[in-house]
Amino acid sequence: MGKVFKYGKDVDTDQIIASQYLLYPTIEEMKVHAFESLDSEFIKCVEPGDFIVADENFGCGSSREQAPAVLKACGIKAVLAKSFARIFYRNSINLGVPVIICSDIYDHVKTGDEITLNMEEGYAEVAGVKYSCTKVPEYMKNILDQGGLLASLEKEI
């Protein structure tokens, strides 16, 4: 179980982590600037196991892999959105961050709500109500289970 941070549509990667922080040598130094321009409360309140719920086109904009990387470093368990931008989606899977398409939940939750996610059965639960999510395809689930593309390639080698 974790709590929800709810954001709108077209949340771009500059908002997740701005360009001026991309050169920080470690993700740990970068992550304190996550969502800085959009929501200054995020970094003060986020705890491992929390979730992001968003409207359409989450992660649009630049190809920066640091966007999913800082979410992972902040302990975000999964991002549930109506849809995702293409490069962000690939990068997230490769880094082992679950990105789940969940159309129904957005209109029924608010920031701070408690949420549980069951990826195997494809639903998220808030206040006793289950919302169905798209199941992650097998190939991608294997990458996620092993903690990302790097870990999964290492296992193959």
Partner 1 sequence: MGATLIEKIIRRNVHDDSVKAGDIVFVKPDRVMIHDIFIPFVADKFHEMGFKKVWDTDKVVIIYDHMVPASQVDDTRHFRRGDEFAKEQGIEHIHRADGICHQLMPELRYATPGDIVFGTDSHTVTYGGVGAFSTGIGYTEMAGILGTGELWIKVPETIRININGKLRDGVTSKDIILRIIGDLTAAGATYKAMEFAGDTVKEMSVASRLTMANMTIEAGAKCGLFYPDEKTAEFSGVPLDEEHGCFTDDNDGDYAMVLDYKAEDFVPVAACPSQVDKIRPVSELKDIVIDQVFIGSCTNGRLEDLRAAAEILKGKKVAPYVKLIVTPASRSVYLDAVHEGIMKIFNEAGAIIMNPGCGLCCGRSGGILTDGETVVATNNRNFLGRMGTSKVNIYLASPVTAAKSAVAGKITA
Contact residues toward partner 1 (CB under 8 A) are: 9-10, 12, 14-15, 18-20, 22-25, 36-38, 56-57, 60-65, 83, 85-87, 90-91, 94-95, 148-150, 153-154, 157
Question: Phi then psi for 78, rounded to 5 degrees?
Answer: -165, 160
Mark residue 25 as left, alpha or beta (left: phi above 0; alpha: psi -120 to 50; beta: remaining): alpha
* Strand bridging mode 129-132 / 78-81: unpaired
CB of 108 to partner 1, least distance (A): 21
Q: Which is closer to partner 1, CB of 3 or CB of 90?
A: 90
| Distance (Å, whole) CA 41 – CA 52 | 14
CB of 68 to partner 1, least distance (A): 8
Q: Which is closer to partner 1, CB of 61 or CB of 122?
A: 61
Please state at what angle helix 149-156 crosses helix 138-145, rounded to 10 degrees: 90
Q: Which is closer to partner 1, CB of 22 or CB of 119?
A: 22
| Distance (Å, whole) CA 101 – CA 71 | 17
Q: Which is closer to partner 1, CB of 86 or CB of 108?
A: 86
CB of 57 to partner 1, least distance (A): 4
